[in-house]
Amino acid sequence: MTSTQERAEDLDLPYDVFAKACPSRGTLEHVTGRWGGLTLGALHEGSLRFNELRRRIDGVSEKMLSQTLHALERDGLVHRDARPTNPPRVDYELTPLGREVAERLLALIHCVEGRMDDVLAARERYDGTRGTF
Protein backbone atom coordinates (compact mmCIF):
# COMPACT_ATOMS: atom_id res chain seq x y z
CA MET A 1 0.00 0.00 0.00
CA THR A 2 1.40 3.37 -0.94
CA SER A 3 1.43 6.27 1.47
CA THR A 4 -0.97 8.10 -0.88
CA GLN A 5 -3.54 5.34 -0.46
CA GLU A 6 -3.09 5.38 3.28
CA ARG A 7 -3.68 9.12 3.35
CA ALA A 8 -6.86 8.89 1.27
CA GLU A 9 -8.19 6.22 3.62
CA ASP A 10 -7.29 8.24 6.68
CA LEU A 11 -9.60 10.98 5.50
CA ASP A 12 -12.41 8.46 5.02
CA LEU A 13 -14.16 10.62 2.43
CA PRO A 14 -15.49 9.45 -0.93
CA TYR A 15 -14.25 12.68 -2.55
CA ASP A 16 -10.60 13.63 -2.87
CA VAL A 17 -9.35 16.86 -4.45
CA PHE A 18 -5.97 15.25 -5.02
CA ALA A 19 -7.51 12.92 -7.62
CA LYS A 20 -7.63 14.52 -11.06
CA ALA A 21 -11.04 13.06 -11.96
CA CYS A 22 -12.79 13.82 -8.66
CA PRO A 23 -15.56 16.43 -9.10
CA SER A 24 -14.53 18.05 -5.81
CA ARG A 25 -11.46 19.43 -7.59
CA GLY A 26 -13.69 21.44 -9.96
CA THR A 27 -15.76 22.81 -7.10
CA LEU A 28 -12.63 23.75 -5.16
CA GLU A 29 -11.51 25.65 -8.25
CA HIS A 30 -14.83 27.50 -8.48
CA VAL A 31 -14.52 28.41 -4.81
CA THR A 32 -10.86 29.41 -4.87
CA GLY A 33 -10.53 30.67 -8.45
CA ARG A 34 -9.40 34.23 -9.05
CA TRP A 35 -12.95 35.62 -8.90
CA GLY A 36 -14.92 32.83 -7.18
CA GLY A 37 -13.24 33.39 -3.84
CA LEU A 38 -13.76 37.14 -3.88
CA THR A 39 -17.40 36.67 -4.94
CA LEU A 40 -18.11 34.31 -2.03
CA GLY A 41 -16.25 36.65 0.31
CA ALA A 42 -18.25 39.67 -0.84
CA LEU A 43 -21.60 37.87 -0.58
CA HIS A 44 -20.78 36.73 2.94
CA GLU A 45 -21.35 40.36 3.96
CA GLY A 46 -24.92 40.21 2.62
CA SER A 47 -26.87 39.90 -0.62
CA LEU A 48 -25.75 42.14 -3.46
CA ARG A 49 -26.94 43.09 -6.92
CA PHE A 50 -24.74 42.39 -9.92
CA ASN A 51 -23.36 45.92 -10.20
CA GLU A 52 -22.75 46.15 -6.46
CA LEU A 53 -20.70 42.97 -6.70
CA ARG A 54 -18.75 44.40 -9.63
CA ARG A 55 -17.84 47.48 -7.64
CA ARG A 56 -16.90 45.45 -4.57
CA ILE A 57 -14.61 43.10 -6.50
CA ASP A 58 -12.13 45.60 -7.88
CA GLY A 59 -10.94 44.57 -11.34
CA VAL A 60 -13.52 41.93 -12.31
CA SER A 61 -15.06 42.25 -15.78
CA GLU A 62 -18.78 41.90 -16.40
CA LYS A 63 -18.20 38.70 -18.35
CA MET A 64 -16.00 37.07 -15.71
CA LEU A 65 -18.36 37.98 -12.88
CA SER A 66 -21.27 36.56 -14.83
CA GLN A 67 -19.43 33.27 -15.50
CA THR A 68 -18.31 33.09 -11.87
CA LEU A 69 -21.84 33.58 -10.57
CA HIS A 70 -23.21 30.91 -12.91
CA ALA A 71 -20.63 28.35 -11.73
CA LEU A 72 -21.31 29.14 -8.06
CA GLU A 73 -25.08 29.02 -8.62
CA ARG A 74 -24.79 25.67 -10.38
CA ASP A 75 -22.74 24.26 -7.48
CA GLY A 76 -25.51 25.34 -5.07
CA LEU A 77 -23.35 27.94 -3.31
CA VAL A 78 -25.09 31.11 -4.55
CA HIS A 79 -28.81 31.77 -4.95
CA ARG A 80 -29.99 34.12 -7.71
CA ASP A 81 -33.12 35.91 -6.59
CA ALA A 82 -34.89 37.54 -9.55
CA ARG A 83 -37.92 39.67 -8.68
CA PRO A 84 -40.48 40.52 -11.37
CA THR A 85 -40.45 44.24 -10.61
CA ASN A 86 -40.13 46.97 -13.23
CA PRO A 87 -37.21 47.26 -13.82
CA PRO A 88 -36.46 43.65 -12.79
CA ARG A 89 -34.32 43.35 -9.70
CA VAL A 90 -31.82 40.52 -9.30
CA ASP A 91 -30.03 39.88 -6.03
CA TYR A 92 -27.34 37.32 -5.36
CA GLU A 93 -26.96 35.72 -1.95
CA LEU A 94 -25.19 32.77 -0.39
CA THR A 95 -27.10 29.55 0.21
CA PRO A 96 -26.57 27.85 3.61
CA LEU A 97 -24.00 25.62 1.87
CA GLY A 98 -22.33 28.68 0.32
CA ARG A 99 -22.18 30.29 3.75
CA GLU A 100 -20.38 27.24 5.20
CA VAL A 101 -17.83 27.33 2.41
CA ALA A 102 -17.45 31.13 2.53
CA GLU A 103 -16.70 31.04 6.26
CA ARG A 104 -13.74 28.69 5.69
CA LEU A 105 -12.61 30.79 2.77
CA LEU A 106 -12.75 34.02 4.77
CA ALA A 107 -10.71 32.44 7.55
CA LEU A 108 -8.08 31.74 4.88
CA ILE A 109 -8.35 35.24 3.36
CA HIS A 110 -7.99 36.92 6.76
CA CYS A 111 -5.02 34.70 7.58
CA VAL A 112 -3.29 35.75 4.33
CA GLU A 113 -4.14 39.44 4.80
CA GLY A 114 -2.95 39.30 8.40
CA ARG A 115 0.41 37.77 7.48
CA MET A 116 1.26 39.90 4.43
CA ASP A 117 4.06 41.74 6.26
CA ASP A 118 5.80 38.37 6.69
CA VAL A 119 5.10 37.40 3.09
CA LEU A 120 6.57 40.65 1.75
CA ALA A 121 9.63 40.28 3.99
CA ALA A 122 10.11 36.72 2.68
CA ARG A 123 9.89 37.99 -0.91
CA GLU A 124 12.58 40.57 -0.23
CA ARG A 125 14.87 37.93 1.26
CA TYR A 126 14.20 35.55 -1.64
CA ASP A 127 14.83 38.17 -4.33
CA GLY A 128 17.96 39.34 -2.50
CA THR A 129 19.39 35.82 -2.39
CA ARG A 130 18.63 35.19 -6.03
CA GLY A 131 20.27 38.50 -6.97
CA THR A 132 23.67 37.33 -5.69
CA PHE A 133 23.92 34.38 -8.12
Residue (76 or 89) nearer to a second copy, CB: 76
Residues that bind a second copy (CB under 8 A): 4, 7, 11, 13-20, 23-24, 27-29, 31-34, 37-38, 41-42, 45, 55-59, 73-77, 97, 100-101, 104-105, 107-116, 118-123, 125-127
Task: Give the residue with the Cβ less far from a second copy, 34 or 89.
Answer: 34
Q: Are 105 and 97 in contact (CB under 8 A)?
A: no
State the nearest-atom distance from the C-beta of 20 to a second copy, in Å.
4
Q: What is the smallest separation between the CB atom of 90 and a second copy, expressed in angstroms?
A: 16
Q: What secondary structure does DSSP assign to 45-109, as a single string?
A: T--EEHHHHHHHSTT--HHHHHHHHHHHHHTTSEEEEEE--SS-EEEEEE-HHHHHHHHHHHHHH
Q: How far is the CB of 28 from a second copy (least distance, A)?
A: 5
CB of 48 to a second copy, least distance (A): 10
Nearest CA to 31 among 125, 113, 97, 117?
A: 97
Task: Give whichever of 90 and 122 is closer to a second copy, judged by the CB atom.
Answer: 122
Going from the C-alpha of 18 to that of each of 5, 14, 21, 41, 68, the distances in angstroms are 11, 12, 9, 24, 23
Residue closer to a second copy, measured from CB, 89 or 110: 110
